[in-house]
Amino acid sequence: MDFSTVLLIILAAITALTLVFYQYFYKNPRKGSLKIVLAALRFITLFCGFLLLINPKFINRDYFLEKANLIVLVDDSSSMQEAQVETPISPLVNQLTANNELNERFSIHQYAFGTNLQATDSLQFNKNNTDISNALSTTHEVFVNGTNAVVLFSDGNQTLGRDYEYINHGENLSVNPVVVGDTTAYEDISVGLVNTNTYAFLRNQFPVEASILYRGKRPVSKTVSISLNGNRVYQERLNFDATKNSQTLNTLIEAKSVGVKTLKIEVEALENEKNQFNNTKETAIEVIDEKTNVVIVSDILHPDIGALKKSIEANEQRTVSIIKPTAASNLEDADILILYQPTRNFRGVYDYVANSGKSIFTITGSKTDWNFLNQTQQSFAKENINQPEDILPVLNNAFGIFGLGNFNVDDFPPLRGSLGNIDLLKNGETLLYQQIKGVDLDQPLFAVLGEGKLREAALFGENIWRWRAQTYRNTESFSNFDELMGNLMVYLGSNEQRSRLELDFELVYDNASTARIRASYFDESYQFDSSANITIAIQGQNNDFNRESPMLLKGNFYEVDLSDLEAGEYQFTVTAEGENLKRSGAFKILDFNPEKQLISSNYNKLQRLADKTNGKLYFPDKLNELIDDLSTSQRYLPVQKSRQNVVSLIDFRILLGLIVLALTAEWFIRKYNGLI
């Protein structure tokens, strides 16, 4: 308690005594003990009142030791199941976490990881993927302060995520890998990356590119074959040696029939090759007999045009061409028209649209001629104030014309548009509303319109390329934005009556861990219905598997997780109970386990990770050395810290109680003695 507070308390006591003296003793002829009792009670009342006003406090300091964090990360993928045959991992982890010296120096946290990181002390070694980069990045985000030591039990082989060797983990995170598994480099030949289209067109040839990798010193010659639905369609003999250890196979395969085709690339095994799981790799391609042709009509050059082209062509079913509005005669082959910032030069284009009835997607911006646009089309009208403005998007979560997938507008930059009221003259829904200078407006930024079989969309702002770039910054992938554009193209390209039950699924899944089916259900007014009972019935191709289960509501869609299914082909039917609505489909799960592609530990990569983070590489038989290094290192000494607490000297409730008691006692004494 500081000196000024003590001085105030003394002054409060003197003031209270002074007031009591003038009330009870100054020129007061009354004598006796009653006067002293009443004066004491009045002094208590006044002094407690002054203490309430002063509210004296004192500082209480607590001293404590803050330990460094020891984070134990254990690779829980299926590849570790075989790696721990010679050296079991669980006893090593228990030996580390139960060590008394380490527990005295560190706060120990144990996590297991496959695709995601989770706190657990139970190891199953059954995860189908390994993402070391995600485990280290998550650890860095959780343990921000202080000096942290990481002990990583892993074989160093990663099947998902960014290269963990090149991620910046900061100076406060030191990684000490413990290499698990066989470090012997065996002679091996494998099929590496396979590139092919997702879709091919009937009676056309589609390219197949596959890299064949060889690890060994002696010259070998092996045959690589490509099969389509079990029928060999191509083979080639390739030669390898110690310096020529990889080759790329390029060929063209003809699509002869419609449907989903399984593409299998296989390389002949080496003599006594230990790991033959990586000698084959499967993928799939869907052969279709039609293609969507999208034409972007623009009179200017703009980054939006390139972004739209890349986004739409992310689906190989669609091709995008770019023409000038003066070339309206070239629109006959177009299925969908994107009209970018229309001006009076678009008059011929709008005449063609009026006669053909084709779907259009209009994007306006700073170069748009609104006087012309308001006169030439009857879908929307805008007040032309001609004042440019930055417009932020606000997502309409109730949008239900088509599924939005994982699309959101978090941290999205503004589009460039202009002020003015917008009237939608046709039926439709607003996907995005406008926000200007922090004020949400009941004005559409992105609207989807439709009457009968005519489909139309309008975006009232330019610089949509920034949204695609921001999607990549948020998720390290363009897929969420591209999926939105893809769903929009599906809607615009369809002339059929809109279905109230929409499905979203992949035709082929590399493995079951990624297999999910989504459904969107709408009521009779085409508003998303979150109270529906949606079920899915799944059947194996040979009737060897049957299951019926509910689909769970997740935001604005229903979803079922199929990660427990085995590889094979399946048919399914989604049903909205209580309604005569059913949708069916088929998918295939490939028999591909990325954890079986490598059998040797990548200790060289783990060594580089340790060097970069100022850690040290260890082997299981050197675990005691790891414990000694951590327990004696001067880098991880506990730090003494203090915590300062400001505490009131006297609880105000006690003071109020004393005031009430003193006043009450004084009143009763005065009343009893006839002084009132």
Report the alpha-carbon distance of residue 521 to residue 527 in Å, rounded.
Answer: 8
Give the model's pLDDT for residue 469: 94
Give the model's pLDDT for residue 394: 93
Q: Which residues neighbour 45 within 8 Å (Cβ) at sequence distance 6 or greater? A: 658, 659, 662, 663, 666
What superfamily does domain 188-287 belong to in CATH?
A: Immunoglobulins (2.60.40.10)
Give the model's pLDDT for residue 448: 92
Q: Are 139 and 113 within 8 A, CB to CB?
A: no
Give the model's pLDDT for residue 119: 87
Q: How far is CA 432 from the centre of its chain?
A: 21
Q: Where in the chain is the domain with CATH 2.60.40.1930?
A: 501-594
What superfamily does domain 501-594 belong to in CATH?
A: Macroglobulin (MG2) domain (2.60.40.1930)
The class of domain 68-184+600-637 in CATH terms is alpha beta
Give the model's pLDDT for residue 116: 87
Give the model's pLDDT for residue 127: 83
Report the alpha-carbon distance of residue 426 to residue 447 in Å, rounded.
Answer: 10
Amino acid at 193: L
Give the model's pLDDT for residue 526: 67
Closest CA to 510 of 266, 193, 250: 193
Neighbours of 196 (CB within 10 A): 18
Question: Mean pLDDT, 10 residues at a time, over the chain (676 residues)?
Answer: 78 85 73 78 85 76 79 88 77 90 90 88 82 90 84 89 83 88 84 85 87 91 92 93 91 88 91 86 81 90 94 86 85 89 92 87 92 91 86 88 83 90 89 91 90 84 94 90 89 73 83 85 77 91 86 89 86 89 87 76 90 91 91 81 71 83 84 72
For the domain spanning 292-493, the CATH number is 3.40.50.880
Q: Where in the chain is the domain with CATH 2.60.40.10?
A: 188-287
Q: Give the SS3 label for residue 597.
A: coil
Give the model's pLDDT for residue 68: 87
Q: Where in the chain is the domain with CATH 3.40.50.410?
A: 68-184+600-637
Q: Give the SS3 label for residue 230.
A: coil
Q: Give the SS3 label for residue 263.
A: strand
Q: Where in the chain is the domain with CATH 3.40.50.880?
A: 292-493
pTM, whole model, 2 decimals? 0.57
